[in-house]
Amino acid sequence: MQKSRLEAFSDGVIAIIITIMVLELKAPHGDQVADLAPLWPVALSYVLSFVYIAIYWNNHHHMLHTVTRVDGLILWANSHLLFWLSLIPAATGWLGHNFLDPVPTAVYGVTLLMPAIAYVLLQKAIIHRQGARSVLAKAVGGDLKGKLSPVAYTAGIVFAFYQPWVSIALYVLVAIVWLVPDRRIERVISEA
């Protein structure tokens, strides 16, 4: 089975997820600059989620690049990842309208944690198919960034009930770390 339709379907779903979030950014009822002010937590949540989903698309792009054929396990691990990504818009809307409230801040962290776990499972499914000596297996070997992110999300979920600002700061920090493109795979490929 070729990977082209898997990529096309994933691109479609991710494109829709990243775009329907903007539907939460409703036009204000008034027409003054002051009417825009209450939008900033919604806008900040939108930017953060946009960056996260773009990071997932970028890394998905890199990871699939190392794949030549897909099997049923990879198809389902991929759908599983898309499922968790699809919850981000709802969590983003809730956070945006209840910024720094403990529960929405924690729930947002959960919707970041779950696709991170699903991404690791997809990685494992691909390595399972390719074998432990594959390019991807080498690339993720010493994957510090991938291992620390779930820890940071979990910390954010816990902090949400004490210091929600710390949670938001952690979510932003992890996004910034990931914004640096994933050179691991690129490096291992070029070494191969």
165 lines the binding site for its own copies (CB under 8 A): no
54 lines the binding site for its own copies (CB under 8 A): yes
Q: How far is the CB of 98 from its own copies (least distance, A)?
A: 4
Interface of this chain with its own copies, residues 92 to 151, rule: CB under 8 A = 93-94, 97-98, 101-104, 107
- Please return the burial class of 111, using the count of CB atoms within 10 Å of its CB with bins 0-12, 13-18 and 19+: buried
33 lines the binding site for its own copies (CB under 8 A): yes
Q: How far is the CB of 141 from its own copies (least distance, A)?
A: 21
32 lines the binding site for its own copies (CB under 8 A): yes
Identified binder of its own copies from the candidate list 40, 47, 141, 145, rule CB under 8 A: 47
Residues in the site for its own copies, rule: CB under 8 A? Answer: 1, 5-9, 11-20, 22-23, 25-28, 31-33, 35-36, 47, 50, 54, 57-58, 61-62, 65, 71-73, 75-76, 79, 82-83, 86-87, 89-91, 93-94, 97-98, 101-104, 107, 179, 181-183, 186
